Structure 1
């Protein structure tokens, strides 16, 4: 089965989403701890997806 690369714009969008979630979590850290923790977890999750996408695309290019 042919492996499909993840489009670079999707990876860029994930990084932008990571920044947005991180800034929102920082902004809400004083007012609402639950929302800040939720956004921080989402920030880490989207960052993980973006890094995984970069690594996956590099492995596909090497094959």
Structure 2
């Protein structure tokens, strides 16, 4: 699970996080377009890189 989270954070935000992370909570909701979304939150510690949005339109589309 940790490697998947690290990969997703790097792909989406361009930063690396340490392998030690802690589960915080999860939630789910359905968008106006009837798309089911699962939100899983982990506390991660920064390792390296400069954060940026690779796809800001994805976030806007969900909210």
Same-fold call, TM cutoff 0.5? no
Whichever of the two has the greater Rg, that structure is: 1
- TM band (smaller chain): under 0.3
Name the structure where strand makes up a greater proportion of residues.
2
Name the structure where helix makes up a greater proportion of residues.
1
